[in-house]
Amino acid sequence: MNQPPLDKQRLIDAAREVLETEARAILGLTERMDETLVETCRRILAVEGHLIVLGMGKSGHIGHKIAATLASTGTPAFFVHPAEASHGDLGMIKRNDLILAISNSGETEELLKLLPVIKRLGVGLIAMTGNPDSSLARHADLHLDTSVDQEACPLGLAPTASTSAQLAFGDALAIALLDARGFTAEDFARSHPGGKLGKQLLLHINDLMHRDDALPRVAEGASLGQAIIEMTRSRLGLCALIDPQGRPVGVITDGDIRRHVEEISDLKHFPARRVMTANPQSIHPDALAATAVKLMQQKRIQGLLVTDDQGRLVGALNFQDLLQAGVV
């Protein structure tokens, strides 16, 4: 069977219509951010156990994502498949938990079969459906209305706008709870220690900096030759010049040497101060590594000195250290 030639404009128009339909569905939810949402948040915040998210089919996929978003933003939550719940997974649900059941029709058989058991357990039930008159909505303690005027699918069959509305409502609920808990970026990072975001928010300069014998430094009266030996030994591409109190008065980089190469006649006697950059950029060891990335990018430099509260040199690092740590 020969494939007819593609009508490019028709494809673009169809895709745009989907986005516009789904956008209208999501915007329609703003009018439903009312006392029901407030009471839902109140119930979730008060729960001693977990928020258990249930859903079948496409609503189940959305449920997985909502549970993951809730868990990563401070609300203990996980997803349970309704069909599996009937075959043993109900044991995962305890009396001190709370259930969020998602179904566009509100008549999903696998969910309705669980209602008597949920009631016997005494577990609270919040329903998220597109039909306020459905069985699930009527048996729930609270109902979140995610109904849409139409699906984006031209056949009116594939869940599109309805699942977008469920997902957006779940995000709205998660962020409202995040705000109510006073959840911070550091709290978020603790839930994501293995990712780039976690490293940006958890790694500090003190975790990465070169210190003690690995720290390239010479006295402020040292020769350029001595500074180059230190730079070569440390392989950081820089060397700090320090005063008798251990405070940096300047820094020399590979670039500084190249810019002054015509002036240098005798490395052993040429003063390192002649090529240094005075008042060098520095950072505190307690600062986040991500702050160092931002500072280096703003100042267009490849290395930073690390100074303590008294301004004394305690470490150094370069951009390669941040790359290797996965902060960049």
The pLDDT assigned to 45 comes to 96
pLDDT, position 190: 63
Residue carrying structure tokens 């250290």: 321
Report the pLDDT value the prediction gives residue 3, as an integer from 0 to 100.
73
Q: Where are the domains of the chain?
A: 8-183, 205-324
Q: Tell me which residue of 170, 4, 199 sits closest to 101, measured CA to CA.
A: 170
- Residue 40 has a pLDDT of 97
For tokens 């392989």, the residue is 235
Structure tokens at 108: 């999903």
pLDDT, tens digit, 9 for 90 and up, residues 63-95: 999 999 999 888 999 999 998 877 667 778 888
Indicate yes or no: pTM above 0.85. Answer: no
Q: Which CATH number fits domain 205-324: 3.10.580.10, 3.20.20.60, 3.30.420.10, 1.10.1380.10?
A: 3.10.580.10
Amino acid 55: pLDDT = 96
In this prediction, residue 158 carries a pLDDT of: 85
CATH architecture entry for 8-183: 3-Layer(aba) Sandwich (3.40)
Q: What gap in Å lies between CA 290 and CA 287, rounded to an integer?
A: 8
Query: Can you tell me the distance from the alpha carbon of 135 to that of 121, in angstroms, rounded to the nearest whole number?
Result: 19
Residue 258 has what pLDDT?
A: 87
Q: Which tokens go with 87?
A: 């075959």
d(CA 67, CA 87): 21
pLDDT in tens, 18-68: 999 999 999 999 999 999 999 999 999 999 999 999 999 999 999 999 999
Residues with Cβ within 8 Å of residue 40, at least 6 apart in sequence: 126, 142, 144, 173
Distances (CA, A) of 312 to 212, 247, 321, 327: 13, 4, 21, 26
- What mean pLDDT, rounded, does the chain reach? 90
Residue numbers in the chain where pLDDT is lower than 70: 1, 87-88, 185-201
277 has which bridge partners? 251
Which strand ranges, in their side-by-side order, compose the sheet holding 277-278?
Answer: 217-219, 238-242, 248-253, 277-278
Contact 68, 99 (CB under 8 A): no
pLDDT of 269: 86
Instruction: Write out the two tokens for 249.
Output: 């008065």
- 8-28 vs 161-181: helix axis angle to the nearest 10? 40
